[in-house]
Amino acid sequence: MSMYSRDIVEAIKDRSDIVDLIGGYVSLKRAGSNYNGLCPFHSEKTPSFTVFPDNQSFFCFGCEAGGDAFTFIMRTENLDYKGAIEFLAKRGGVELPADSREERRGVSRKRVFEMNLIAARFWRECLFDPNIGRVGMEYLTEKRGLPLSIIRRFGIGYAPNDFNALTTVLTREGFTPEEIKEAFLGTISQKNGRVYDLFRDRVMFPVIDNTGNVIAFSGRDVGGHDNRKYVNSSDTPAFQKRRNLFALNFAKNHCAEQLILCEGNIDVVSLHAAGFENAVASLGTALTDEQARIMAKYTKQVVLAYDSDEAGQRAAHRAMGIFAKVGLDVRILQMQGAKDPDEYIKKFGAERFRQLIKNSRTGFEFKLQSVLAQYNLDIPDEKIKAAAELCAIIARVYSSAEREVYIHAVADRLGLREDSLRKDVESAMRRNAKAGKQQESQQARLSAMGIRDKVNPEAAGNIRAAAAEETILGLLLLYAEHRKAVRDGVVPLTRDSFVTAFHRNAFTVIMTLEESDGGFDFSLMGEYFTVEEMGRLARLEQTRRALSENGTTVLRAAIDTLAAAKERQNVKEAAPADRIQMILAGKRKNINRGSDDDP
């Protein structure tokens, strides 16, 4: 039973034309009967992302993201299948019925939201209770100088130094220990099996998504009971840290021209208090590609306000490369006399910080200064090393005009001829291109062998079987007549025919939907598979679509190959005595098959 009826899903699909939908996120150009564009899910310079209006699907031939309108929204808006349905229903004006279905697989996203909201409210009450939250309030107001208005705006709270403060509340509200653990709000004791609070004696910063849901927390130690300064929520059914940013729910309304990216939550809160409402932070991780792509949706430029220490500067170097991939202009703050934005504003004031942003350096200027500071340019060997390092940096710049500007700047600083530097840059670009092709070739070989396959890890140990299974699934996804032949028993294929678990599950879902009222519909599969798995299924369908031979002969040949591979696997796993009998039985079967074929 699906969470929403087939009629509802089809009504939403009818009002979600995929070209119009994706065109709101990606600049598309017509290519014959299809549309092409730069993939929004990975960094690329040559379009490999294709939208197919005829079957309302998309597929990226670079990163293999694919699926339908629901899958696209799941990826771009970081939603689960139900969330994507609700998003597109609202967009298309489709009214959804109340969903009374109980979750069948683990804790639901909705339950996590409910627990998080209860936790946020409880911790906020604790903070404002002088008998409980005094240490937290002193840290925020006296040590950090935050006004109560900004504390309330961000919903900041305090987790008491108590093993059962929050879990008692959640248990009373009907949540199970397993649900509390899954939401990363508690953990279960190995000694007595009881659930206890995960966050204790910490100032709590709620992470809120763009629709107002509390999706996670970041807790800052204030009592000195833990050697970890921050504890951040791990991934849950409602939250993936690599795809979210702290305070984006506020900053998205103030960042059309510029976003300020900080390292810590307290820096962000301090900046908002000082009037810089376009500040965000990553959530306890180094900047990810997904976070960079999210920022690119909202702004044209990112100012890196990382700490001025060595670790912060290393992080800035890394972040510049990530932002370059998504085409964002990057500026670097150089804070003299302060470690981070919070300290700078307290020392010098908001106006000085605003001037600091205005005078921030470009990413290349920052790199240029960093390289030049490492070498003594009066020594020929060191000047050569500096030139080589800078040419390597310029070679990674996509724009030829931008490369020319940088070549001129380096030539001027090093006292070298521009044409000499240009040749070195071109040589570095050729080396990069060669290395890129070698890496692509290696990845293609590993992919063909099933190695490093996160979607179907069993493929590496069952190469022939997995290849046959891919052919079978591609045919079943594409053609109703093949599904009917399997359903009616005309073609001998069952769930037990499959070797790898992912393909076995895909077959089961396809045939279950086929046998339901209304028959198979690709869009209904999103309820059962992740976006990565849906992308793989889209690839299998796309591969078969590009081939001319997709008839019953191909299907039966793939089934025979799979059966032979399954038989070999059974022989390999059997006991020695049984193995001999199975080999002999197989030989007799082949002999009999040959006799039947004789005229």
Q: Give, for 22, the enclosing helix (H) or strand (E).
A: helix 18-23
The pLDDT of residue 324 is above 50: yes
3-state secondary structure of 581: helix
The pLDDT of residue 477 is above 70: yes
pLDDT per residue as tens digits for the range 139-174 = 999 999 999 999 999 999 999 999 999 999 999 999
The CATH number for 261's domain is 3.40.1360.10
Question: Average pLDDT, stretch 3-29?
Answer: 89
Comparing 517 with 320, the larger pLDDT belongs to: 320
Give me 198's structure tokens.
């995960």
Last residue within a domain, chosen from 239, 268, 292? 239
299, with CB counted inside 10 A (0-12, 13-18, 19+), is buried
| Alpha carbon distance 475, 580 (integer Å) | 35
pLDDT per residue as tens digits for the range 84-116 = 998 999 999 988 876 534 443 457 888 999 999
- Residue 329 bridge partners (DSSP): 301
Contact indicator for 204, 123 with CB cutoff of 8 Å: yes
Which amino acid, residue 300?
K
Let me know if residue 97 belongs to a domain: no
Percent of the chain with pLDDT over 70: 90
* Residues spanned by the domain of 118: 109-239
- Alpha helix stretches (DSSP H) within 159-285: 165-172, 177-182, 248-251, 265-273
Contact indicator for 532, 502 with CB cutoff of 8 Å: no
Let me know if residue 72 belongs to a domain: yes
Comparing 536 with 97, the larger pLDDT belongs to: 536
Q: pLDDT band for position 559 (50/70/90)? A: very high
The pLDDT of residue 451 is above 80: no
Quick one: pLDDT at residue 443?
53
Comparing 111 with 598, the larger pLDDT belongs to: 111
Quick one: pLDDT at residue 186?
95
Question: Average pLDDT, stretch 531-552?
Answer: 91
Are 149 and 254 part of one and the same domain? no
Question: Average pLDDT, stretch 42-57?
Answer: 88
The pLDDT of residue 290 is above 90: no
For the chain, counts of helices (H) and of strands (E): 25, 16
Quick one: pLDDT at residue 103?
43
Comparing 92 with 442, the larger pLDDT belongs to: 92
Q: Beta strand 361-362 with 329-332: parallel, antiparallel or unpaired?
A: antiparallel
The pLDDT of residue 73 is above 90: yes
Are 32 and 54 part of one and the same domain? yes
Let me know if residue 102 belongs to a domain: no
Are 231 and 253 part of one and the same domain? no
Let me know if residue 100 belongs to a domain: no
Comparing 19 with 399, the larger pLDDT belongs to: 19
| Alpha carbon distance 177, 167 (integer Å) | 8
Are 161 and 292 part of one and the same domain? no
Radius of gyration of the chain (CA): 29
Quick one: pLDDT at residue 1?
42
The pLDDT of residue 509 is above 90: yes
Are 330 and 353 part of one and the same domain? yes
The CATH number for 60's domain is 3.90.580.10
Quick one: pLDDT at residue 102?
40
CB-based contacts of 503, cutoff 8 Å, min separation 6: 456, 466, 469, 470, 473
Are 143 and 267 part of one and the same domain? no
Contact indicator for 375, 383 with CB cutoff of 8 Å: yes
Question: Average pLDDT, stretch 70-75?
Answer: 92
* Cα four-point dihedral sign 111, 114, 120, 124: negative
What's the start-to-end Cα distance of the chain, in Å? Answer: 51
Are 463 and 589 part of one and the same domain? yes
Are 415 and 483 part of one and the same domain? no
Are 234 and 126 part of one and the same domain? yes
Q: pLDDT band for position 3 (50/70/90)? A: low
| Alpha carbon distance 61, 45 (integer Å) | 13
Quick one: pLDDT at residue 574?
52
Half-sphere exposure of 17 (CA within 13 A, CB side): 7
Please give the mean pLDDT across all residues of the chain.
86
The CATH number for 486's domain is 1.10.860
Let me know if residue 359 belongs to a domain: yes
The pLDDT of residue 572 is above 80: no
Let me know if residue 232 belongs to a domain: yes
Give me 562's structure tokens.
């799979």
- 450-474 in b/e form (b: 16+ CB < 10 A) is beebebbebbeebeebbbbbbbbbb
Are 593 and 461 part of one and the same domain? yes
Quick one: pLDDT at residue 151?
97
3-state secondary structure of 305: strand
Nearest Cα neighbor of 10 from 65, 69, 52, 54 is 69
Last residue within a domain, chosen from 62, 92, 122? 92
Q: pLDDT band for position 599 (50/70/90)? A: very low
Last residue within a domain, chosen from 394, 424, 446? 446
Q: pLDDT band for position 576 (50/70/90)? A: low
Quick one: pLDDT at residue 533?
93
CB-based contacts of 80, cutoff 8 Å, min separation 6: 74, 109, 237
Give the other-Cβ count within 10 Å of 317's Cβ.
15
The CATH number for 170's domain is 3.90.980.10
What is the maximum span of the chain, computed from C-alpha positions, in angstroms? 97
Question: Average pLDDT, stretch 394-413?
Answer: 86
pLDDT per residue as tens digits for the range 365-393 = 888 888 888 899 999 999 999 999 999 98
Let me know if residue 234 belongs to a domain: yes
Are 589 and 466 part of one and the same domain? yes
The pLDDT of residue 590 is above 90: no
Kindly report the backbone phi and psi dihedral angles of residue 323, in degrees, each rounded to the nearest multiple of 5, phi listed first: -70, -30
The pLDDT of residue 215 is above 70: yes
Quick one: pLDDT at residue 243?
83
pTM (whole model) above 0.85? no
Nearest Cα neighbor of 523 from 88, 100, 103, 108 is 88
Q: pLDDT band for position 308 (50/70/90)? A: confident
Are 505 and 588 part of one and the same domain? yes
| Alpha carbon distance 78, 216 (integer Å) | 14
The pLDDT of residue 402 is above 90: no
Domain count, the chain: 5
